[in-house]
Structure 1
Amino acid sequence: MPDLAAPLIAWYRENARDLPWRHPQFGAWGVLVSEFMLQQTPVGRVIPRLEEWLARWPTPTALAGASPADAVRQWANLGYPRRALWLHRAAVEIRDRHHGVVPRDVEALLALTGIGDYTARAVAVFAYGDRHPVVDTNTRRVLARAIDGRSQPGAASRRDLATMSAVLPTGTAESAVFNAAAMELGALVCTARSPACERCPLAAHCAWRAAGFPDTGDARPRQARYEGSDRQARGAVLKILREADGHEAALDGVLAGWPDARQRDRAIDSLIADGLAEAIDGMLRLPR
C-alpha cells in the first residue's frame, strides 16, 4: 500500500473547512447528532439545523424527555425524517442504558437505533479520538482512485473498512486526522464528477492517475427523481403535520388537492408504517 498519510494530513491541516463538529469542545452528543443529519444531506443545510437542535436539546437526556413529534418537527426540511425518529430513540437508549452519556465503544454504539458501521466509528474516532477506520462515500471514492485505479467505487462492502485499515497511520491522533482528511479530500478535490487532480496532494501516489484516468464504470445506485415522487408526497404530508403544531389534521383533508390520489394515500400509509404519523379516528398527527 502507498504511504498516503503524510501528504494527505499536511494538505488537510492547510485546507480543512472550519466545521462545528471539528471543534474539540463540540462533544460526543454533538458529533452524533451531526452524523445523523449529514447522511445524504449537504453540509450547508445541516449547520443551521444542528445549531438549533443542540440549543434546544444539548444532551441525549434532554431529547429523550421530548416527544417523537417534537423531534420530527425540529427536523424540519432536512429530508429522510425517519432519522429524527431514530435519533430520538437513540437518545432514549443512551439515557436508559448509558446514564445519558454517548458510549465510546463501537459495539455499544452499533446497538443504538439508527447507527451503522460508519456512524459508530465516526463517533468513536471524531468524538473520542480512538483508532478505527471511518469510511463514507467520499472516502470510498478516494480509496477507489488512489489505491484501486478505478474512476468510481463499487458497491459499499466490508472490504472498504479493510482497505482503509491498511493505509491508516498507526498513531491514534494521526489516524483520526487521516480519517477526516480522506473525507475532506473526497468532498473538496476528489469529487465524483469533476475531480481537481491538479490540486490533489495524492497525485504522485494515485493509481487512477498513473493509469491515465480510465473510465471503469459507475455502479453507484441512482436516486430516483424527487419531483413527482412518493418522497415528495411524503414530504408534503409531513409539512402539513409539522405546521399543525401538535394538533391533528383531518385524514381526508390532508393533501386533498394532490394530483395523484393513490400516491397521496401511499404517502400517508408509508408514514404511518414508518412511525412518522398516527391515524386516530379519522385524524392524522405526528407520533406522540
Structure 2
Amino acid sequence: MPDLAGPLLPWYLAARRDLPWRAPDATPWGVLVSEFMLQQTQVDRVLPRWHAWLDAWPTPADLAAALAGDAIRAWGRLGYPRRAVWLHAAALQIVERHGGRVPDDLDALLALRGVGNYTARAVLVFAFGQRHPVVDTNIRRVLARAVDGVAAPGPPNARRDLAAMARVLPRDAGRARQFTWAIMELGALVCTARTPACDRCPITDRCRWLLLGRPATTSRPARRQARYEGSDRQARGRIMARLRAATTPLTEDALIAGAPDATQARRALASLVRDGLAVRAEAAEASQTRPSGARPGDGADEPHPCWRLP
C-alpha cells in the first residue's frame, strides 16, 4: 500500500483553502452545519450562507428555538432545501436528547435527522479529532487513481470505500484527521474528475494510474446531469421562492401563477408538502388571504386551502 500521507500532508499545509469549518476554533455545531450545506453544493456558495447561519444560530439551541420556516428562508438558494428542515429537526433532537451539545458518538449522530454515514464520521473526525475513515466523492476518486490505477471509481459502496480509506489512513488520530482533509483537498483542487492537474500533484511518484499511463475508464458511460430548465426541480424552486418571500399564506393559484405547466406546478407543490417544506395554513391564517378580485358574499370568505412555510 503506497504511503500517501508522507507527501500529501506538507502539500496540504501549503496549498489548503482557508475554510472556517476547518479552523481550530470551529465548533462541532459549525462543523455539522457545514457538512449539511456542502452536500452537493460548491464551497463558494456555502461560505456566505454558513457565516450567516452561524451568526443567526450559533448553537443548536438557538436554531431549535426558531421556526423551521426561518431555517428554510436562511437556506436561500443553496438548493435541496429539505436539508434546512432536516438540520432544524436535528437541532431539536440535539437539545432534547443531548442537552444542546452535538454528540461525539457514531450511533448518536446517525440517529439525528438527515445525518448519514458520511456526515456522522466527518463530524467525529473534523469536530472531535477521532480516527475514522471518511470517504466523499473526491476521496473516492483519489483512491481509485492512486491505489487502484483506474480513472474513475466504481459505484459507491460504503463497506468497500471505508475499508480502502482505512488502509491508507495514518494511525495517529491527529495525523489521520489532517490526512483526510488533505486527500479531500487533493481531489477538489488537483485530482479533479475531468481535467486532473497531474503536473501539480504531490503524489505523482506513487500514483498507480499515472504510472500506468493514465488509462481511460471504458466500463461505464459518463453520467449525464439531469437538465434543470423545465424540470420539476425548477418548478419547486419557483414555488419555494414565493413561499420564502410571502408574509401571509398563499393560495395554490397564487403559488402556481405564471407557471409554464400548471400540472407540473401542482405536482411540485404536492411534493413540497410531502417533504415538509410547505404546510397548510390554519383557518385563521388563511382568512387573511382572499382570492384576487373576490368580493364579500361571493364565497371568498369561505375557507380555502392556503400554504406557508412550516
Normalised by the shorter chain, which TM-score bucket?
A: over 0.9
In structure 2, C-alpha distance between the alignment counterparts of 1:25 and 1:96, rounded to whole Å? 25
**CA offsets 1:103-133 (integer angstroms, 9 cap, x no match):** 1111111111101111111110111111011
Moved more, 251-260 or 10-19: 251-260
Q: Does 1:285 find its partner at 2:308?
A: yes
CA distance in 1, matches of 2:119, 2:225: 21
TM-score by length of 1: 0.97
Give the C-alpha shift of residue 29 in structure 1: 0.3
SS in structure 1 of the partner of residue 26 of structure 2 = helix
Q: Map 1:97-246; keep pairs closer than 5 Å.
A: 97-158=97-158, 159-217=160-218, 221-245=223-247
Does the Cα contact within 8 Å between 2:150 and 2:215 map onto a contact in 1? yes
- 2:174 and 2:221 map into 1 onto residues whose CA distance is 34
What displacement does 1:139 show?
0.5
- For 2:185 and 2:221, the matched residues in 1 are separated by 22
Corresponding residue of 2:37:
37
CA deviations over 1:173-216 (Å, ceiling 9, x no partner): 10000100010000000000100001111111111111111111
Cα distance, 1:253 vs structure 2: 1.7
Question: What residue in structure 1 maps to residue 271 of structure 2?
Answer: 270
Offset at residue 223 of structure 1 (A)? 3.1
More relative contact order, 1 or 2 (CA 8 Å, 6+ apart):
1
Match of 2:19 in 1: 19
Classify 1:219/1:57 alpha carbon distance in 2 versus 1 (closer, same or farther; 3 Å).
farther
State the secondary structure of the residue aligned to 1:284: strand
* AA of the residue aligned to 1:283: C
Question: What is the distance in 1 between the residues matched to 2:260 and 2:63?
Answer: 37
TM-superposition CA deviations, 1:130-183 (whole Å, max 9, x none)? 101111110010001001111111111121100000000011110000100010
CA contact (8 A) 1:139 1:186 kept: yes
Q: Is the contact made by 2:149 and 2:208 (CA closer than 8 Å) also made in structure 1? A: yes
| Cα pair 1:12 1:184 within 8 Å, conserved | yes
1:37-76 matched pairs, under 5 angstroms: 37-76=37-76
Is the CA contact 1:21–1:34 (under 8 Å) kept in the aligned structure 2? yes
User: Which 4+ residue blocks in structure 1 deviate beyond 6 angstroms?
Assistant: none
Q: What TM-score results when the alignment is normalised by the length of structure 2?
A: 0.90
Gaps spanning 5+ residues in structure 2: where? Answer: 282-303
TM-superposed deviation, 1:219: 6.0
1:25 is paired with a residue whose SS is coil
Q: What SS class does the counterpart of residue 24 from structure 1 fall into?
A: coil
Paired with 1:201 and 1:219, the residues of 2 have a C-alpha distance of 29
2:151 and 2:214 in contact (8 A); partners too? yes
CA distance in 2, matches of 1:253, 1:47: 33
Q: Percentage identity across aligned positions? A: 59
Partner Cα distance (2:257, 2:64) in 1: 34
User: Contact (CA 8 Å) 1:72, 1:81: kept in 2 or not?
Assistant: yes
Cα distance per residue 1:38-76 (max 9 Å; x no partner): 111111110100111010000001101111111111101
- SS at structure 1 position matched to 2:80: coil
